[in-house]
């Protein structure tokens, strides 16, 4: 069965190690993007605000209905709280091979 067009790229379709799905005016999204920029990791931010198909797909893939949703090397790691915990523990740097 062919994949449904969700109007945004899926993680496997993006040439970046980290894909972060966000929406405007989301404090946790802003914090996650700031953390990734501070660490100078290669990432792509994709705004899913106003895109119902993308939000439904994202909830199904990540098992969460909130943003941000962050994928590292195609694997869902959760949102900002999980990203920050990985960063604090040093695991994020290891996952990125830095």
Q: What is the pTM of this model?
A: 0.93
pLDDT at 97: 87
Phi-psi region of 78 (alpha: psi -120 to 50; beta: other; left: phi over 0): left
pLDDT at 98: 64
Cα gap 65→16, rounded to integer Å: 23
Q: pLDDT tens digits, residue range 70-95?
A: 999 999 999 999 999 999 999 999 99
pLDDT at 92: 97
Strand partners, 46: 21
pLDDT at 5: 86
The CATH-assigned architecture of domain 14-95 is 3-Layer(aba) Sandwich (3.40)
Taking the domains of the chain in order of start, what are their residue ranges?
14-95
Give 10-residue mean pLDDT values along the chain (98 residues). Answer: 79 94 97 98 95 93 94 96 98 90
pLDDT at 26: 97
């Amino acid at each position: 069965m062919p994949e449904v067009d969700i109007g945004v790229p899926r993680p496997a379709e993006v040439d970046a190690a980290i894909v972060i799905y966000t929406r405007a005016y989301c404090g946790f999204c802003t914090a996650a993007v700031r953390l990734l920029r501070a660490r100078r990791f290669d990432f792509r931010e994709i705004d899913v605000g106003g895109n119902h198909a993308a939000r439904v797909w994202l909830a199904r893939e990540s098992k969460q209905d909130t943003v941000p949703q962050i994928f590292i090397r195609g694997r869902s790691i959760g949102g900002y709280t999980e990203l920050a915990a990985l960063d604090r523990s040093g695991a994020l740097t290891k996952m990125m091979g830095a």
